[in-house]
Amino acid sequence: MANYHVTKDKESGDWKVKQEGATRAAAYFDTQAEAEKLAKRFSSNSGGGEVMTHRPNGTIRSKDTVEPGNDPFPPRDREH
């Protein structure tokens, strides 16, 4: 299982995909949507997990559990 964060890079202004605990970003994109899509694919390929998408100011905008991840107390999804 792997968790990923989608954040805005302060230097380049691009959106980056970074695995939790990693020192370097896995990929950079022009749009947040592209970065989020790849983060979900990475997480799914590694057995599921959480994808946390951040706003440009760094606060978390959304959290998604990616299959086959196991969320022990899944809340109702009001985003999708």
Domains in the chain: boundaries: 4-66
Per-residue model confidence (pLDDT) at position 1 = 82
Residue 15's Cβ-count burial label (10 Å; 0-12, 13-18, 19+) is buried
Beta bridge partners of 27: 17
pTM, entire model: 0.83
| pLDDT bucket at 65, cuts 50 / 70 / 90 | confident
Cα 44 off chain centre by:
11
Residue type (1 letter), 28: Y
pLDDT in tens, 9-46: 999 999 999 999 999 999 999 999 999 999 999 999 99
Q: What would the two tokens of residue 23 be?
A: 């020192």
Diameter over CA atoms, the chain: 37
